[in-house]
Amino acid sequence: MDSFFTVSKVGWLLAAPSNLLMFVLLLGFLLRVADVRRPAFALVALSALGLLVCGFSPLANHLVSPLEERFPPFKADGRPVEGIILLGGSEVPDVALARGVPALNDAGERMLAFAMLARTYPDARLAFSGGSADLDTDGQMEADAVRLALGDLGVDLSRVTFERRSRNTAENAAFTRQLIQPQPGERWLLVTSAFHMPRAVGCFRQVGFPVTAYPVDYRTISPKALDGPFPRIAMGLDLTDLAAKEWLGLLAYYLSGRIPVLFPAPDAAAN
């Protein structure tokens, strides 16, 4: 098994802010039971403060916004589009395949945008990239579940090349390039969540496959509207986790050579 994939999955289980704060809280309680009072109080207080800040404050918005603003929205300029790639992450494969119906998650806008683009560019080649991100090698493949949703959205499945082996963004890029063999000068649109676009574009550039960003699934209103608190702690924690995963992912991918620069920009020459 690929050690990077395994380490990243286990590492994220421990490093996700919501999990980490609960681990700190648990450690504080255990120390209190052991009558180690001062460190116990410090850890419990730190965890409680972290939960309040990450859960209710606008911190998560400020962490996500730079990711989402890195690549501007796509604007059609009349140039031909030879292909469109949809990255996985918008389906819940276990539910979809068990019930035989689409099961979109909160990134479902990716699927809608892909279907719209397929109609807008009827001659473009289509590709979906996404297998299973589970450590369990027998997990359900997202590519199999996506067929259900794309069919319901009116996409001609005979146009779509399905890449179903990838487990992370780096493999999305490498396996998709191998499968579709893009030609020099072709213009391929890459559809994924705006917060995920810097890492995704970086991965495709690293394997020699330049793509044009088509960001969707925005989680913030605008850079000028980031300061509102969250009404529920779960909302803030979820977005904090999302931001932390992406920033840590950028760092890990850069250090491991999976992206060419730490924070990929729209103009590759500017990096």
Q: Are 186 and 83 a contacting pair, CB within 8 Å?
A: yes
Q: Are 241 and 54 a contacting pair, CB within 8 Å?
A: no
Homologous superfamily, domain 73-218 = HUPs (3.40.50.620)
Name the nearest CA neighbour of 256 among 203, 212, 186.
203
- 3-class DSSP state of 248: helix
Residue 1, pLDDT score? 47
Sign of CA dihedral 151, 153, 158, 164: negative
Q: Are 113 and 191 a contacting pair, CB within 8 Å?
A: yes
**pLDDT tens string 126-172:** 999 999 888 775 668 999 999 999 999 999 999 999 999 999 999 99
Percent of the chain at pLDDT exceeding 70: 97
Name the nearest CA neighbour of 17 among 241, 229, 265.
241
Residue 137, pLDDT score? 59
Residue 268, pLDDT score? 75
Residue 234, pLDDT score? 98
Name the nearest CA neighbour of 89 among 206, 168, 7, 14.
168
Residue 270, pLDDT score? 60
Cα(222)–Cα(82) distance, integer angstroms:
31
- Identify the helix (H) or strand (E) that includes residue 255: helix 233-255
**pLDDT tens string 12-24:** 999 999 999 999 9
Q: Are 176 and 129 a contacting pair, CB within 8 Å?
A: yes
Q: Average per-residue pLDDT in the chain?
A: 96
Can you tell me the mean pLDDT for 42-53?
98
Percent of the chain at pLDDT exceeding 90: 93
Per-domain residue ranges of the chain: 3-66+227-248, 73-218
- Residue 123 in this model has a pLDDT that exceeds 50: yes
**pLDDT tens string 167-215:** 999 999 999 999 999 999 999 999 999 999 999 999 999 999 999 999 9
Name the nearest CA neighbour of 193 among 108, 260, 125.
108
> C-alpha distances in angstroms, 101 versus 4, 88, 126, 174, 202?
33, 17, 22, 29, 33
Can you tell me the mean pLDDT for 59-79?
98
Helix, strand and coil in the chain, % to nearest 5: 55, 10, 35
Look at 88 and 271; give whichever has higher pLDDT: 88
Residue 267, pLDDT score? 86
Sign of CA dihedral 244, 200, 112, 63: positive
Q: Which residues pair with 7 in a beta bridge?
A: none
Cα(239)–Cα(116) distance, integer angstroms:
27
- Residue 119 in this model has a pLDDT that exceeds 70: yes
Q: What is the pTM of this model?
A: 0.94
Can you tell me the mean pLDDT for 25-38?
96
Per-position b or e across 230-253, b if 16+ CB within 10 A of its CB: beeeeebbbbbbbbbbbbebbebb
